[in-house]
């Protein structure tokens, strides 16, 4: 684990991605590395069986994407 120290005017958006496949996660790495906007990206699928964690992260995330319904790459490529 690590911590971020953030001061104005910086802002780090948190994105929760549900049900991403390993291939989708791998394809996001170069995209996220190439953009200037910082993100905290959380991943979750039902096999993780951590509903309390999911609720906490969902409550603090700016965006929730379901990889079954949309390609996460499209969000970061905008």
Task: Compute the average pLDDT of residues 9-28.
Answer: 95
> Is 78 a residue whose pLDDT tops 80?
no
Is the per-residue pLDDT at 75 higher than 80?
yes
Coil, strand or helix at 44: strand
Domain residues for the domain of 64 are 13-76
Angstrom distance (rounded) from CA 6 to CA 25:
26
Q: Is residue 4 part of a domain?
A: no
Q: Does some domain include residue 33?
A: yes
Could you tell me if residue 47 is inside a domain? yes
Is residue 7 domain-resident? no
- The answer to whether residue 8 sits within a structural domain is no
Number of domains making up the chain: 1
Residue 32 belongs to a domain? yes
* 6 occurs within a structural domain: no
Closest CA to 68 of 23, 24, 20, 25: 20
Does residue 53 form part of some domain? yes
């Amino acid at each position: 684990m690590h911590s971020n120290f953030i001061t104005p005017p910086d802002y780090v958006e948190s994105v929760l991605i549900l049900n991403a496949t390993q291939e989708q996660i791998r394809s996001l790495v170069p995209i996220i590395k190439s953009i200037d906007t910082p993100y905290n990206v959380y991943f979750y699928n039902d096999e993780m069986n951590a509903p309390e964690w999911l609720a906490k992260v969902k409550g603090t995330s700016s965006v929730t994407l379901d990889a079954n319904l949309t390609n996460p790459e499209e969000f970061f490529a905008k």
